[in-house]
């Protein structure tokens, strides 16, 4: 484990501007994404067909969301392209882990000379990770020996059974990847197979890199009980033929994840080893998307407010040495940031809907601008000068 720290001041105008733009972009994208997800779930719900006859493919179901159960059967037998592991399975997953340095950041705020500062602390620890970590991006600046590398260039990979089917439909690879708790088996590694020996020779520079087979694991390194930076371990997960419940879209003689008519990048499917309630699945997924909508709205809104707030940090630091004036200015800027940030956020959301759903967008913009106008009128009335009293008769 290592340790390092460095100091940073406020974000300043440039970072504030980037944060503001990122928040506005997130708000606009979030609304666009939500509209497309609503379309997807509306079309999926309207087209849902619960199959009772699974003995044939009905052309009338083309493009619809189907729910059925049946046996998923293997077509061509898949084998890992490097190690040759495989057989009569729906898929063969090569799972690779790397022993690497990892960086963890912590921070604290403090005041120095009347200026708000933030101090960052970095700790380093070793662990198994699913992807290599570039230590050139670490913040230790070479003060500690936290350099990552790998003994062998081996990566995660999945090989599928081409022509795998369920009730006559060919299975899409994405369906197998989305499977919920389907039975998985560990591969029994054969060190004497031609493919395995060739793979070990090629990955270890003909035996120059230490390696061994430990149970169902190929281990690259000197000692599995005491891993060192650079060590790599490889295991395999095998998906056998199984009985599955499926929610997916009919596409000719293929079954694939459901896509909306706009062919948006997000899809919907279920491939499970237990029965499902298709209507509940759609309702729950739509509800989860609504929670995500509001979460990203809140994050975008806060980013916009913070971006505006940081625009004024440079000026506030000039006034901080003056105790009363600096405090008053800070409170005023906070209030202005929340008000302006909220208005900007609502305008961006409304403007996005003007393009996607004009009636809703114009309603949001109308309500927002009307509220601003009413608030301005009330403010003027409250601060209108009181006329002098009439002279006595």
Least trusted range by pLDDT, from 56-65, 111-120, 333-342, 371-380: 371-380
Rounded average pLDDT over 161-181? 92
What pTM does this model have? 0.76
What per-residue confidence (pLDDT) applies to 372?
58
Least trusted range by pLDDT, from 75-84, 177-186, 210-219: 177-186
Q: How many Cα atoms are found within 13 Å in the side-chain-facing hemisphere of 5? A: 8
For residue 369, pLDDT beyond 60: yes
246/49 Cα distance (integer angstroms): 12
Distances (CA, A) of 108 to 9, 103, 316: 12, 17, 20
Tokens of 217: 């694991």
What per-residue confidence (pLDDT) applies to 323?
58
Detail the DSSP E strand segments found in the chain.
2-8, 49-50, 65-73, 91-112, 115-129, 157-160, 165-166, 169-171, 185-186, 211-214, 217-220, 232-239, 242-251, 254-256, 270-272
Phi/psi at 258 (nearest 5 deg)?
-70, 130
For residue 392, pLDDT beyond 70: no
pLDDT digit string (tens) for 330-354? 566 778 888 888 889 988 888 887 7
For residue 187, pLDDT beyond 90: no
Rounded average pLDDT over 163-186? 88
pLDDT digit string (tens) for 265-279? 999 999 999 999 999
Q: How many Cα atoms are found within 13 Å in the side-chain-facing hemisphere of 223? A: 4
pLDDT digit string (tens) for 257-266? 999 999 899 9
Rounded average pLDDT over 125-132? 95
| 272: three-class secondary structure by DSSP | strand
Kindly state whether residue 227 falls inside one of the protein's structural domains: yes
Q: Give the residue numbers spanning the domain of 208.
A: 69-98+129-275
Is residue 203 a contact partner of residue 67, using CB atoms and an 8 Å limit? no
What per-residue confidence (pLDDT) applies to 295?
97
Give the total number of structural domains in the chain. 1
Rounded average pLDDT over 371-375? 63
For residue 191, pLDDT beyond 70: yes
For residue 174, pLDDT beyond 80: yes
What per-residue confidence (pLDDT) applies to 387?
61
* pLDDT tier, 379 (very low <50, low <70, confident <90, very high otherwise): low
159/176 Cα distance (integer angstroms): 11
Kindly state whether residue 300 falls inside one of the protein's structural domains: no
pLDDT digit string (tens) for 64-95? 999 999 999 999 999 999 999 999 999 999 99
Which residues are within 8 A (CB) of 270 and not within 5 positions of it... i.e. 6 or more apart? 178, 180, 245, 246, 247, 248, 276, 281
Kindly state whether residue 342 falls inside one of the protein's structural domains: no
Mean pLDDT for the chain overall: 85
Which residues are within 8 A (CB) of 373 and not within 5 positions of it... i.e. 6 or more apart? none
* pLDDT tier, 371 (very low <50, low <70, confident <90, very high otherwise): low
pLDDT digit string (tens) for 12-46? 456 778 889 999 999 999 999 999 999 999 999 99
Kindly state whether residue 368 falls inside one of the protein's structural domains: no
Element (H, E) at 371: helix 358-382
Q: What's the sign of the alpha-carbon dihedral 20, 21, 24, 29?
A: negative
pLDDT digit string (tens) for 297-324? 999 999 999 888 877 766 555 555 555 5
What per-residue confidence (pLDDT) applies to 179?
83
For residue 373, pLDDT beyond 90: no
What per-residue confidence (pLDDT) applies to 251?
95
What per-residue confidence (pLDDT) applies to 381?
64
What per-residue confidence (pLDDT) applies to 340?
86
Tokens of 109: 């705020």
Distances (CA, A) of 341 to 307, 330, 337, 348, 378: 9, 16, 6, 11, 21
For residue 209, pLDDT beyond 50: yes
Is residue 353 a contact partner of residue 30, using CB atoms and an 8 Å limit? no
Least trusted range by pLDDT, from 128-132, 136-140, 221-225: 136-140
Kindly state whether residue 241 falls inside one of the protein's structural domains: yes
* pLDDT tier, 11 (very low <50, low <70, confident <90, very high otherwise): very low
* pLDDT tier, 362 (very low <50, low <70, confident <90, very high otherwise): low
Least trusted range by pLDDT, from 183-187, 231-235, 381-385: 381-385
Kindly state whether residue 259 falls inside one of the protein's structural domains: yes
Kindly state whether residue 264 falls inside one of the protein's structural domains: yes
Kindly state whether residue 336 falls inside one of the protein's structural domains: no
At CB < 8 A and 24+ separation, what contacts does 42-46 make?
A: 43/258, 43/260, 43/261, 44/258, 44/260, 44/268, 44/282, 45/279, 45/282
């Amino acid at each position: 484990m290592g340790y390092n720290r460095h100091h940073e001041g406020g974000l300043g105008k440039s970072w504030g501007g980037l944060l503001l733009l990122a928040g506005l972009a997130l708000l606009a994208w979030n609304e666009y994404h939500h509209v497309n997800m609503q379309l997807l779930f509306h079309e999926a719900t309207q087209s849902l067909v619960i199959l009772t006859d699974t003995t044939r493919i009905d052309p009338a179901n083309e493009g619809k969301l189907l729910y059925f159960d049946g046996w998923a059967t293997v077509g061509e037998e898949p084998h890992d392209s490097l190690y040759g592991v495989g057989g009569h399975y729906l898929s063969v997953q090569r799972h690779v882990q790397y022993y690497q340095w990892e960086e963890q950041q912590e921070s604290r705020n403090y005041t120095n000379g009347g200026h708000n500062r933030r101090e960052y602390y970095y700790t380093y620890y070793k662990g198994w990770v699913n992807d290599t970590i570039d230590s050139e991006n670490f913040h230790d600046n070479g003060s500690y020996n936290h350099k990552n590398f790998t003994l062998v260039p081996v990566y995660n990979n999945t090989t599928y059974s081409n022509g795998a089917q369920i009730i006559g439909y060919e299975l899409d690879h994405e369906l197998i990847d989305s499977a919920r708790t389907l039975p998985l088996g560990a591969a029994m590694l054969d060190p004497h197979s031609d493919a395995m020996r060739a793979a070990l020779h090629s990955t270890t520079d003909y035996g120059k890199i230490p390696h061994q087979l430990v149970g169902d694991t190929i281990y690259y390194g000197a000692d599995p009980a005491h891993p060192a930076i650079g060590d790599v371990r490889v295991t395999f997960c095998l998906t056998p033929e199984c009985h599955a419940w499926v929610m997916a879209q009919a596409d000719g003689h293929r079954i694939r994840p459901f896509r909306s008519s706009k062919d948006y990048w997000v899809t919907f499917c279920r491939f499970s080893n237990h029965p499902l309630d298709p209507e509940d699945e759609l309702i729950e997924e739509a509800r989860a998307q609504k929670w995500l909508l509001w979460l990203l709205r809140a994050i975008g809104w806060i980013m916009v407010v913070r971006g505006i707030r940081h625009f004024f940090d440079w000026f506030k630091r000039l006034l901080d040495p003056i105790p009363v004036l600096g405090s008053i200015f800070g409170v005023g800027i906070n209030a202005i940031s929340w008000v302006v940030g909220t208005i900007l956020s609502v305008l961006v959301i409304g403007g996005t809907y003007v393009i996607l759903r004009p009636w809703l967008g114009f309603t949001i913009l109308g309500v927002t601008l009307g509220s601003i106008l009413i608030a301005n009128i009330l403010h003027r009335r409250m601060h209108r000068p009181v006329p002098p009293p009439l002279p006595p008769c």
